[in-house]
Amino acid sequence: MSDIKKKTSVDKKKSSSKKTSLDKKPVSKPSNKKKDSGKNVNFYWIYGVVGVLLLGMIMLNTDGGGKEIQFSEFKSYVESGDVDHVIHDGHVYKVFLVESAKDDLSGDSEEDSQGIMSLYAGPDVWFSMPPGDSYTEDYKKLTDLNNVSSKYEPVNEWGQQMFSWIFFLVIMIAVWMFIMKRMGGGGSAGNQIFSIGKSKAKLHEKGDETGITFKDVAGVDEAKEELEEIVDFLMKPSKYTKLGAKIPKGALLVGPPGTGKTLLAKAVAGEAKVPFFSLSGSDFVEMFVGVGASRVRDLFKQAKEKAPSIIFIDEIDAIGRARGKNASFSSNDERENTLNQLLTEMDGFGSNSGVIIIAATNRADVLDKALLRAGRFDRQIYVDMPDVNERKAIFKVHLKPIKTDETIDIDLLSKQTPGFSGADIANVCNEAALFAARKSKKSVGHTDFNEAVDRIVGGLEKRSRVISATEKKTIAFHEAGHAIVSWLLEYASPLMKVSIIPRGKSLGAAWYLPHERQITTTEQIFHEMCAAMGGRAAEAITFGKISTGALSDLEKVTKQAQAMVTVYGLNEKIGNVSYYDSRGEQSFTKPYSEATARIIDEEVSKVIEEAYAKAQEILRINKEKLTELAEALLKDEVIFKADVERILGPRPFEEEEVGVQLIEEKVTVTEQVSKEQDSE
């Protein structure tokens, strides 16, 4: 049997991989710069190419389209008195006839003389002299006897050669211009050839182009305050300089993806009434040597000319990676040269020059230490995942453009989404609107948000998936085991909903409401591990055999046990020791011996087996209730907290206050907060 479940709690450890967004989607204002309605075509280039082609045709015009004849035919023309004169180079003889003889030429000759070649005087007929001195002597006697003018003119190959070289150069220049235009990102090709070392930064004059201000940013109040101070310094420098304060040179925004780092920079651009240069770290990278450093110099030159100004570099880790680490594997002299130039420029202008650098990255651990020192990036602003109050503020921002009904409870939504980033919340709001639109609703309701959260966390429902009766029964008992163990353990996350409907890659899922803890005790971690092992324990007790459905459960508890032993120092045998490396400098070596490694493996296995035994103990005591809950799942496919409470009774201890009013009726879809997903 394939994996039943992939258990995933959406808690504070959840990592989002979505793009940044904390605000409502702005409507971009038109740029201050004048935009061309279309591409400007330079017709002088077209005229030049046509002129070169015509010149070549003139130079290559050697025969003017005359008809080829044999030497015997030439003799008859001469004897008939139809030849006016002959011009030859010793091999090709061009024959010019008298006017009366031209009328006797065939229609083919007249057709050959038509077109553009007819503009130029050429021979009427021509022939190649057969090899042998006898033919040359016959030709001389024939022309002398009939008083036919014969002139020798050597072949002039200069025109042909010149035309071939000109044509070749035109082609090469066109290809080069095309390549430079593609590498330069568009624009005038002629200008791109000479501007490859110029900065690609986009200039925002007085923030009109972003359409975003600090009012559109929510959930990152501390980071916003730091940046507001920088903007205030630029707008009112005397307020600080009169006290002897110096303007900070740089601010580095650090945090997980989707928390709003780029959005904060856009808000700074919208608030600051100074020029704002924005670009990505990859914009410095080019295939030509020295281009990156040249673009850095040009960027700072432009910024100084427009000072006071702000430079924003997104994803600075593209050029700011630490130098000297694993040089044999990741050596990149061009990237290091670009970084060296950036370090020089940041330390090269004065403190009061009015140029501030703001950078963003989610990989601060890989940045060079010289870049992070004081005097370059003076401030490192950490943008963390939002808490419940910050999520409430973010929901308010994203719900503004959405037409909602009276059932929407922002407090409830914020408490339902622990571990969600600003980008996740924006996605929830958008998906809810899409669900309502599919149902042709006039407004977005709370059930639409329930479905949106389910869709984002677990994927779409797959009711059409073929599952045998035996597999479905195994899934039901598996999920019921999770539900009972989590219900009867004090520190396990409160149960919200259990389903055996396939969703995404899972065949069954359980939803919980995890507590947002700042610290976690040993008992709390252990109880969460027991709840995760409840599914496999239920299979073993009910069927006397286990399946592959607990793969994700095993993965989760293994990581938790390893963290207890090696990271948090929560194991008695290992002691108060942590082998965690926050800088990531121990990627190829272990900070402990082989003997310690064996002890770690033994203790990790011991902790997991203790959690498994605890789960089995709870389920053996409540085996009848396990069967009843599983049968309810097989009948209804989805059960809620009210059903579990009816079967098991109230929880035997006081629950921590989570501030969420749970909905007990089946007809109302209970909100999904965290999901225990069975991986197929």
pLDDT(328) > 60: no
Residues 6+ apart with CB under 8 A from 297: 341, 345
Per-residue confidence at 326, pLDDT binned at 50, 70, 90? low
Question: Tokens in use for 70?
Answer: 């044999």
Measure the CA–CA gap between 418 and 437, rounded to whole angstroms. Answer: 26
Q: What pLDDT was estimated at residue 49?
A: 64
Contact of 405 with 444, CB cutoff 8 Å: yes
pLDDT(30) > 60: no
Question: Tokens in use for 220?
Answer: 């990152």
Q: Using one digit for the tens of pLDDT, what is the confidence trace for 375-415?
A: 788 888 898 888 888 888 899 889 988 998 888 888 888 87
Q: What pLDDT was estimated at residue 158?
A: 65
pLDDT(344) > 70: yes
Q: Using one digit for the tens of pLDDT, what is the confidence trace for 79-96?
A: 888 888 888 877 788 888
pLDDT(541) > 90: yes
Measure the CA–CA gap between 246 and 351, rounded to whole angstroms. Answer: 6
Residue pointed to by tokens 């303007």 = 247
- The pLDDT of 292-301, averaged and rounded, is 83
Among 252, 411, 259, residue whose Cα is nearest residue 342: 252
Measure the CA–CA gap between 525 and 515, rounded to whole angstroms. Answer: 12
Percent of the residues in the chain that have a pLDDT greater than 70, as a whole number: 72
Among 264, 186, 262, residue whose Cα is nearest residue 224: 264
Q: What pLDDT was estimated at residue 168?
A: 74
Q: What pLDDT was estimated at residue 121?
A: 58
Alpha carbon separation from 670 to 97, 149, 412, 651 (Å, rounded): 104, 110, 11, 19
Residue pointed to by tokens 């707008």 = 235
Contact of 553 with 528, CB cutoff 8 Å: no
Per-residue confidence at 58, pLDDT binned at 50, 70, 90? low
Residues 6+ apart with CB under 8 A from 675: 7, 8, 9, 10, 454, 457, 458, 509, 510, 511, 512
Per-residue confidence at 157, pLDDT binned at 50, 70, 90? low
pLDDT(483) > 80: yes
pLDDT(226) > 60: yes
User: Residue 503's beta-bridge partner residues?
Assistant: 461, 506
Q: Report strand pairing: 125-128 vs 67-68.
A: parallel
Per-residue confidence at 433, pLDDT binned at 50, 70, 90? very high
Kindly write down the DSSP assignment for every residue of 461-505, as one continuous string. Answer: B-TTS---HHHHHHHHHHHHHHHHHHHHSTTSPPEEEEE-S-BTT
Q: What pLDDT was estimated at residue 118?
A: 45
The catalytic site residues sit at 479
Q: What is the mean pLDDT of the chain?
A: 75
pLDDT(221) > 90: no
Per-residue confidence at 583, pLDDT binned at 50, 70, 90? low
pLDDT(288) > 70: no
Q: What pLDDT was estimated at residue 536?
A: 93
More confident residue, 17 or 133: 133
Per-residue confidence at 60, pLDDT binned at 50, 70, 90? low
pLDDT(64) > 60: no
Q: Please give the torsion angle defined by the CA atoms of residues 132, 135, 141 and 142, in that order, rounded to the nearest 10 degrees.
A: -160
Per-residue confidence at 281, pLDDT binned at 50, 70, 90? confident
More confident residue, 349 or 639: 639
* SS3 state of residue 569: coil
Residue pointed to by tokens 């003017």 = 64
Q: What pLDDT was estimated at residue 665?
A: 33
Per-residue confidence at 600, pLDDT binned at 50, 70, 90? very high
pLDDT(608) > 90: yes
- The pLDDT of 450-461, averaged and rounded, is 77
Tell me which amino acid residue 53 is. Answer: L
Measure the CA–CA gap between 87 and 85, rounded to whole angstroms. Answer: 7
Per-residue confidence at 155, pLDDT binned at 50, 70, 90? low
Among 405, 417, 531, residue whose Cα is nearest residue 480: 531
Q: What pLDDT was estimated at residue 535?
A: 92
Residues 6+ apart with CB under 8 A from 532: 7, 482, 553, 556, 557, 611, 676
Q: What pLDDT was estimated at residue 119?
A: 44
Residues 6+ apart with CB under 8 A from 124: 66, 67, 95, 96, 97, 101, 102, 105, 109
Report yes or no on whether pTM surpasses 0.75. no
Q: Is 75 exposed, middle or buried (0-12, 13-18, 19+ CB in 10 A)?
A: middle
Q: What pLDDT was estimated at residue 54?
A: 61
Q: What pLDDT was estimated at residue 200?
A: 57
Among 82, 114, 74, 112, residue whose Cα is nearest residue 99: 82
Q: What pLDDT was estimated at residue 566?
A: 93
Per-residue confidence at 163, pLDDT binned at 50, 70, 90? low
- Of 345-349, 388-392, 457-461, which has the strongest mean pLDDT? 388-392
Q: What pLDDT was estimated at residue 567?
A: 93
- The pLDDT of 236-258, averaged and rounded, is 84
Measure the CA–CA gap between 194 and 222, rounded to whole angstroms. Answer: 44
pLDDT(526) > 90: yes
Q: What pLDDT was estimated at residue 75?
A: 84
Q: What pLDDT was estimated at residue 189?
A: 43
Q: What pLDDT was estimated at residue 111?
A: 45
Q: Using one digit for the tens of pLDDT, what is the confidence trace for 101-146?
A: 776 665 444 444 444 444 445 688 888 888 777 778 888 888 888 8
Per-residue confidence at 420, pLDDT binned at 50, 70, 90? confident
Per-residue confidence at 204, pLDDT binned at 50, 70, 90? low
Q: Residue 199 gets which letter from DSSP?
A: -
pLDDT(358) > 50: yes
Contact of 412 with 670, CB cutoff 8 Å: no
Q: What pLDDT was estimated at residue 219?
A: 82
Residues 6+ apart with CB under 8 A from 25: 401, 426
